[in-house]
Amino acid sequence: MKLEQSKSRRRLAVIVNYGSAGLFLMLFALGTYNGWNPLLLIALVATLVTMLASFLRLHLRTRLWWLVHTRAEHLDERQVQITHESLRVSYAIFSVIVLCILLYLGVRSTGDSMLILVFAVLLYLAHTLPSSVLAWREREI
């Protein structure tokens, strides 16, 4: 198992992995709304295979998946620090992306008040969930 990859190769793998995931969604939407044809199905399968291959190469082969899914007790101090930072940044990016999608859907559907309300509650949740987990789990802060 190859544990090391250059930073530029890992970055390229991230771009390929998320790019193929995004392309998969676009092709699926295109097929759903405009109808399916053999070329579109081949492209859809090719993006899925690319996404899977890049996932295996980037996350499993380098053990990065293991690093961010392992309990802190099984990591050394450096691994805990870099994992904490990656999870913190990832959480923030994910929250912004999801909330932007919900805001877009709410505005696109002519200001559907339910979607706007869901957006507001999820925005609140995104900002309060980390401190709520600390409040719930920690004896002393």
CA distance 61 to 25: 25
pLDDT confidence band for 4 (50 / 70 / 90): low
Which pLDDT tens digit goes with each residue over 64-111?
A: 889 888 999 999 999 999 999 998 889 888 888 888 887 787 777 766
Alpha-carbon gap, residue 97 to 89, rounded angstroms: 12
- Is residue 115 within 8 A of residue 102, CB to CB? The reply is yes
- The Cα–Cα gap between 13 and 21 comes to 12
Mean residue pLDDT of the chain comes to 87
**CA–CA separation, 55 and 73 (whole Å):** 26
Instruction: Output the pTM of the full model.
Output: 0.76
**How confident is the model at residue 1, as a pLDDT?**
42
Tokens of 14: 């991230």
